[in-house]
Chain A
Amino acid sequence: MSEANVTMAASTPQAALGRKLVAAAANSRELSVILAALAMFVALSLSTDTFFTELNLLNLLRQISVIGILAVGSTFIFISGEIDLSVGALLGLLAMICAALAIKMEGNIYGAALVVVALGAILSGINGVITTKLRIPSFITTLGMLSIYSGATLVLSKGMPISGLQNDLFRSLVAGRLFGVVPAQVIWMVAAGIFGTYLLLFTRFGYNVFATGGNKNAAKAVGINTDRVKILAFVVSGIMVGVTSFILVGWFRGVDPQTGNGLELSVIAAVIIGGTGLFGGQGSVLGTLVGALIIGMISNGTVLLGVDSYYEPVAHGTVILLAVIIDIWVRRQR
């Protein structure tokens, strides 16, 4: 009886609508992140006079560019089912190497920039190799690397900052303003977003990242080299860290040995808030960038609302926990 009803219901227009709703709900994580960001945007615009101004909005975008580019790279690692705690420390190390090399190479910062991008790819790739080939959980691998990178940065710099790198053309490329308005860092972030979206949604590698993170055994059974996919995900992230490092060096005409300290938390927050689960197999670059925007608005908002800045990490942590709780709750509903 009920079987027959099910069969009949499956062919009514209402059922067709129901199926569309199911499909929409499956893709709604991205949508809900965007809605949350919009809500924050409206709330901050209404509650402060200073938020919704061209100057503040452009500054906000420039501030999130570093987290944004790093988070685009981390998105690949998370979707492949791994985690990376070392991006902040790697950023600091690469920025220090970039500045030191530029000085060594008599101001050839372009050469230094290329070197750190390659080095970022290699060092992050090593994280991937240790994680996959030695079967060490990436949480442990990258926690160890965090410490190694931070230490190496201090050893290399002897704790001293590098400053006064003069290269006006390079600086305008990484920190100038397009048409005198749009900060170059934002252009870099958008470019990273477009490149990341292309890789994830339009290449075989991207499909295999989803497959590897979604069901590693299934991916292996159909012949996907899941180790290589994960290592490449780490490499993509390393390239993004390298790019971010030379942007910072050009932007600040040097580097501080504290660069990148604690940044991994904001990056992870952006990725998780953006709808990329902690367990792999789903996520998007667009969601991650909106996640970075939410993180940025929290920082920006606390300043504009006159909240004690010591509360900012508390807000970040709360948002990460909320995002994870919602993620797990949504999973259980399925």
Chain B
Amino acid sequence: MLRVQNLTKRFGHVTAISNVSANIRKGRVTALLGDNGAGKSTLVKMICGTYKPTQGSVWVNGKQVHMDSARDALALGITAVYQDLALVDQRNVIHNISLGNIPTKWGGLVVDRKKMRETAENALSYMKAKLPSLDIPVSSMSGGQRQAVAIARACASGGQLVIMDEPTAALGIREQRMVLDVVHDLRAHGTSVLIISHNLDHVFEVADDLLILRGGRVVAEVERNAVSHDEVVRLILAGQPRDADLEEEVAA
């Protein structure tokens, strides 16, 4: 679905991302792992159009793309669901799901409210998350419900790749469950997911592939089943697994 090749990002003298190449495969959940400062956010921001790479290229469905803004990324089907959720608290679920993409009729003169409601209903239909109502402000909803709304918007806007930054942080246990279910639902629906998380239990539950960064470089790009919990921790902290065989695989 998405491939980055030799991606580098420098801020002045600081190199945040150095020569990163990686694949995000279609219909799979990829976890982006790394300690604080490993370059996860910088990489994600280049994938969703917020930062321009200093060097290297981004490829979507086999074509090289240039993104200057989040809007460009959106047009390519890449949407990010941020930690701070990016919902408009005072507005209801329906508006939040169509945020920035309000449908109109009669030559753009009037908002098509019926279509807006249908868009919201469709986007939420394959998620198990239950919302109290589509017509109340999202400020009155729980963290998990708000995540569901934010993710539904990502899908409604034609998202082929949904990027989630710490989607389960600061949520209660039940709410975390809800978000992980949403990730499963997304994959079942054929949507690719890139998830940033420090919670390895969650990562091991939902991810198919792991992409591990350390010091701005890729130290591993592996399938979840190929590594153990401990090896992942060592990769994140030291840049190498305990296992020598795996080290070869990582180097390749």
Contacts and interface: CB of A to CB of B under 8 A. Distances in A.
Given A3-B174, A207-B102, A211-B95, A223 B71 contact: yes
A218 B81 CA distance: 10
Contact of B86 (A203, A217, A282): A217
A136 interface: no
B137 A204 contact: no
Nearest to B174: A3
Interface residues of A, number: 27
B233 interface: no
Contact of B82 (A221, A224, A334): A221
Interface string B139-160: 1100000000000010001000
A219 B136 CA distance: 19
18 contacts: A19-B132, A22-B132, A202-B111, A204-B111, A206-B111, A207-B102, A208-B102, A210-B88, A210-B90, A210-B91, A211-B91, A215-B86, A218-B85, A219-B99, A219-B100, A220-B70, A221-B70, A223-B71
Contacts of A207: 95, 98, 102, 111
Given A203-B110, A204-B104, A214 B135 contact: no
Contact of B136 (A23, A217, A218, A223): A23
B101 A222 contact: yes
Interface in A1-30: 3, 10, 19, 22-23, 26
A208 B111 CA distance: 11
Interface residues of B, number: 36
Interface of B: 69-71, 74, 80, 82, 84-91, 95, 98-102, 104, 108-111, 130, 132-133, 135-137, 139-140, 153, 157, 174
Contacts of A19: 132-133, 136
B136 A214 contact: no
Contact of B108 (A204, A208, A215, A221): A204
A281 B91 CA distance: 8
B110 A202 contact: yes
